[in-house]
Amino acid sequence: MKNPIPPATTTPAREPRSPLARAAALAVASAAMLLTGAAQAHGPQDHARAAGPVAKEQKAWGIAGDAAIATRTLHVDMDDRMRFTPDRLSVREGETVRIAVRNLGQVRHEFVLGTEAVLREHAEMMRRFPDMEHDEPWMAHVDPGQTGTLVWTFNRAGTFDFGCLLPGHYEAGMVGRIDVTSRGDSQ
C-alpha cells in the first residue's frame, strides 16, 4: 500500500499561519475586493448590490432622488485649478435637486457627495488604487468639456462635503461644502 492517506474530503487546511502570512493574505483579499467591488465595499450595508436599476440606499448625506420630482438644478463648475465653483451649496432638508456638474478643465474630474470622513477615506483609497472603478448615484465622473448630472434627495439635515477624489485632486483642495438646513430651522 503506497497511499495510506485517506482522500481529503472535508479536511480544510486550517493550520495556524504566521501573522505575516495572514496579513499578506488579508491584504491581497482586500485589494481584490477593492478592485472588483470598488466603492461598493465601503460600508457594511454596501455589499451585494444587484445589477440593474440603481438601488436607493440611504446614506448619511441623503438618498438617490427621482429626476421627476427635482425642484431645481444646482450648477457647479470644475476646473484644473482643482476647484469647484461655487464651492458652497445650500439646500433645504427634504429637497430633491439636480446637480449639473460641468468640467471646464483639460482632465477628468468628478463630483462625489459624502461626509468629510467618507470622502477622506475614499480619497485615500483612490491614491492607493488609482484605477479603481466606481459608480454610485451620489457621484458624477465628468470628462473634459462635458457636464454630468446627479439627482439627490437631501433628506438628512447637516453639513456635508463634495469632492473630486481622483488621485491628488482632493488633496489639492478640490472640495466643497453643502449645507442642508433642517426643516425646523426654516422661517
Interaction site with Cu ion (CB under 5 A): 109, 164, 166, 169, 174
> With the C-alpha atoms ordered 63, 86, 141, 38, is the resulting torsion angle positive or negative?
negative
Nearer to Cu ion, 139 or 164 (CB): 164
Burial class of residue 20, CB neighbours in 10 A (0-12, 13-18, 19+): exposed
Nearer to Cu ion, 109 or 122 (CB): 109
DSSP assignment of 134-150: ---TTEEEE-TT-EEEE
Q: How far is Cα of residue 19 from the mean position of the Cα atoms in its chain?
A: 31
Nearer to Cu ion, 125 or 164 (CB): 164
CB of 170 to Cu ion, least distance (A): 8
CB of 139 to Cu ion, least distance (A): 12
CB of 178 to Cu ion, least distance (A): 17
Distance CA 142, CA 101 (A): 8
Burial class of residue 169, CB neighbours in 10 A (0-12, 13-18, 19+): buried
CB of 123 to Cu ion, least distance (A): 11
Which one, of 51, 168, 48, 182, lies nearest residue 107 by Cα?
168
Nearer to Cu ion, 102 or 109 (CB): 109
Which one, of 58, 181, 161, 171, lies nearest residue 114 by Cα?
161
The residue whose Cβ lies closest to Cu ion is 164
Nearer to Cu ion, 82 or 89 (CB): 82
CB of 167 to Cu ion, least distance (A): 9
